[in-house]
Amino acid sequence: MTTSAHPLPAAPSGAWRRSLFDWAFAAIVVALGGWAFHAHGASMDVYERGILAAAVPSIIALAWFWGPIRVLLLLSGLATWGTMTLYMRATDDYGADLAQADKVFWLKYFLSSQSAILWMSVLFFMSTIFYWLGVFSKGVTGARLGSRIAWAGVFMALIGTFVRWFESHQIAPDIGHIPVSNLYEVFVLFSWMTTLFWLYYEDRFAKAGQSLMALGAFVMLVVSAAVGFLLWYALERGASEIQPLVPALQSWWMKLHVPANFIGYGTFAMSAMVAFAYLVKSHATETRWWKLAPLWLIGVALCFEPLVFRAKPGAEQAMSSYWAVYFGIAAVIVAAILGARRKLAAQLPDFAVLDDVMYKAIAVGFAFFTIATILGAFWAAEAWGGYWSWDPKETWALIVWLNYAAWLHMRLMKGLRGTFAAWWALGGLLVTSFAFLGVNMFLSGLHSYGQL
């Protein structure tokens, strides 16, 4: 078995040789965890206490493993605390006045959950644009700005997520829940998790002497596509409103199963966009249109939503104008990328680097998707009395798992590399997209509470 040509840099020797900032961060996390136990422990069950107890060392370990996340977590925590203070300023009783979201300037325009998520959406669109400007200008300024804007988008996404969690508990005690319960909330989760994983790889490979800035333009396209769906779902379906949990979701398993699942979805999507970049680079000198057509078709097929998100029954038009524009933009972007393939090929990293990033993303996604599937089986046993029922969602989750298990097996045992591996990874996103969205559109079963 061969080893990676461009491994990530090893962690510094001496795990306990940490900076003062590291230890200060750890002390803050421990103190906040202790305060949470003291203030809210009585209202937690044994599982929630266990999750909180595990979260404290996990956050510390994550921050020590990757330094930049310390500042992100501290700033988003402070901003969330400030937002909670603004909400609670208007009442003398314990609790918050959610009507303040329409009255207080900072809440109305920046820090309420809906405002923060809208800012996240704008920033991710801007990040994508600046990444591409950096690619076509053949400079690093635009790409670096795109990377920094992506960090800002993750920051606003975390504020929106944490504040939405707080807001849900202020509506009523039995409504409060972690915001991963419907498509609106999980698309927010998908967007910032995918971006954060990309920023991690960008940073780690940069430290190993490999610039991935041009690759960020491709990865942020899938994030922008997700944001496009998110905005439609919020505006057209009113999904941004906080709703009570359906009975099947009233379980502490949701706090573990859904985030683990979306680490898998996010890294699989990232690997697919890296694979797309690989194929663009490998087709740089191709002039025969029938050789390029499959790449264009599969790129457009990933934006299949307009074919199924039709206007409401009785409407005159078969497709809403939003999705017609969405579909048209997607087709033009894919065509433009293929048209500029020679210029893009010169900006993209070497094939070995692209292959390595693709492999590492799939490996991380597969690990977390496996954990999520196991957790989902335990949740199913608690909710429905059986670990596995061949529900459509479960069946397609198994298909996704088998697809990437086969990819990794071929990579590790047979040395799978190159164009075929890239096609497989890109096609894998079609399978994953159907498991994520298609099942909700076309099939019914125990998971039908997630229908569009």
In terms of pTM, does the model score above 0.85?
Answer: yes
341-367 mean pLDDT: 94
Residue 14 lies in a domain: no
Res. 322 pLDDT band, cuts 50 70 90: confident
**What is the reported pLDDT for 104?**
87
352-378 mean pLDDT: 95
Q: Where are the beta strands (DSSP E) in 185-310?
A: none
Higher pLDDT, 92 or 423: 423
Q: Which two tokens stand for residue 118?
A: 């809208």
The whole-angstrom separation of Cα 81 and Cα 375 is 31
* 29 and 112 part of one domain: no
* 219 and 336 part of one domain: yes
* 179 and 32 part of one domain: no
* 97 and 166 part of one domain: yes
* 235 and 310 part of one domain: yes
Res. 43 pLDDT band, cuts 50 70 90: confident
**What is the reported pLDDT for 365?**
96
**What is the reported pLDDT for 266?**
94
369-387 mean pLDDT: 86
Higher pLDDT, 294 or 37: 37
**Model confidence at 4: pLDDT above 60:** no
**Model confidence at 236: pLDDT above 50:** yes
Residue 247 lies in a domain: no
Residue 19 lies in a domain: no
Nearest to 335 by CA among 281, 293, 274: 293
The per-residue pLDDT of the chain, averaged, comes to 85
The whole-angstrom separation of Cα 217 and Cα 130 is 8
- In this structure, what DSSP letter does residue 238 have? -
Q: Which letter, b or e, does each residue of 262-283 get, where b requires 16 or more Cβ atoms within 10 Å of its Cβ?
A: bbbbbbbbbbbbbbbbbbbbbb
Q: pLDDT of 61-83, one tens digit each?
A: 999 999 999 999 999 999 999 99
Q: Which two tokens stand for residue 392?
A: 């459509």
* 94 and 57 part of one domain: no
* 34 and 153 part of one domain: no
Residue 428 lies in a domain: yes
User: Looking only at Cα atoms, what is the longest distance across the chain?
Assistant: 72
Residue 150 lies in a domain: yes
278-304 mean pLDDT: 77
**Model confidence at 337: pLDDT above 60:** yes
Residue 328 lies in a domain: yes
* 60 and 189 part of one domain: no
**What is the reported pLDDT for 91?**
55
* 139 and 226 part of one domain: yes
* 199 and 312 part of one domain: yes
Q: Is the separation of the CB atoms in 445 and 388 below 8 Å?
A: no
Residue 12 lies in a domain: no
* 279 and 362 part of one domain: yes
318-339 mean pLDDT: 81
Range of the domain at 52: 24-39+46-65
Q: Is the separation of the CB atoms in 230 and 182 below 8 Å?
A: no
Domain count across the chain: 2
**What is the reported pLDDT for 291?**
73
Q: pLDDT of 124-178, one tens digit each?
A: 999 999 999 999 887 778 889 999 999 999 999 999 999 999 998 888 777 888 8
Q: pLDDT of 241-262, one tens digit each?
A: 888 887 777 787 888 889 999 9
Locus of tokens 């229908």: 451
Q: Where are the beta strands (DSSP E) in 87-161?
A: none
Residue 304 lies in a domain: yes
* 232 and 260 part of one domain: yes
Q: What are the Cα distances from residue 98, in Å, to 51, 82, 215?
A: 28, 14, 41
